[in-house]
Amino acid sequence: MTSSIRYSAAKYLISACEIKGLPSDQGVEVAFIGRSNSGKSSALNTITGIKGLARTSSTPGRTQMINFFDLGQECRLVDLPGYGYAKVPKPLKEKWTRFTNDYLESRESLRGLVLVMDIRHPLKEQDWQIINWTAQCELPCHVLLTKVDKLKANKARSAHHQVVNELFDYDNVTVEVFSSQDRTGLAEVQSTLDEWFSESE
């Protein structure tokens, strides 16, 4: 496996709504997770440079299944359902949560988790739950603070530093700012993904 993945070669592979529908648990996967409306799907589209690869919507909660994107060389990007959207019916939210938890806890090919947060609203309760879970599992977690273009530079720096300070004791967590609008942080997140994929040779 090479250390540099061609993200522009990403292709939709499959969507699943239950564990038995997942693709074969071989190769390497990096999963993206975050609150609804955090910019998760937009981040995936920006990272790959493929508009519309991950479906975006003005209505939060659009990702209702686990979506897999093939990068070749048995490497995959995975788009997990968003969480925290109040208008989704409770039974459906509970189903998504169970399915997502089952995926995270059982998937052997999962090598890292990108936790997407709106830089204006970081570190909510469910974000902390995910961070603590990755720490317990010693799974690398890369926090992507999206929508940095919505803040003035000094406020963006302050928000970034605050999150970094709060996560200082987590050895498995890295943090960066990102914007799908102006591509801030694109090279950095691709470099992190490259490391995760290459370390799994």
In tens, the pLDDT along 118-148 reads 999 999 999 999 999 999 999 999 999 999 9
Whole-angstrom distance, CA of residue 104 vs CA of residue 98: 10
Residue 1: band (very low, low, confident or very high) from pLDDT cuts 50, 70, 90: very low
Query: Per-residue b/e over 121-136, b at no fewer than 16 CB within 10 Å?
Result: ebbeeebeebbeebbe
Which pTM value belongs to this model? 0.92
Strand partners, 145: 117, 177
Whole-angstrom distance, CA of residue 99 vs CA of residue 97: 5
The string of DSSP letters for 157-181 reads HHHHHHHHHHTTT-TTEEEEE--TT
Confidence check: pLDDT of 96 > 80:
no
Using an 8 Å Cβ cutoff, are 148 and 116 in contact?
no
Listed residue (10, 39, 201, 28) closest to 117, CA to CA: 39
In tens, the pLDDT along 21-31 reads 999 999 999 99
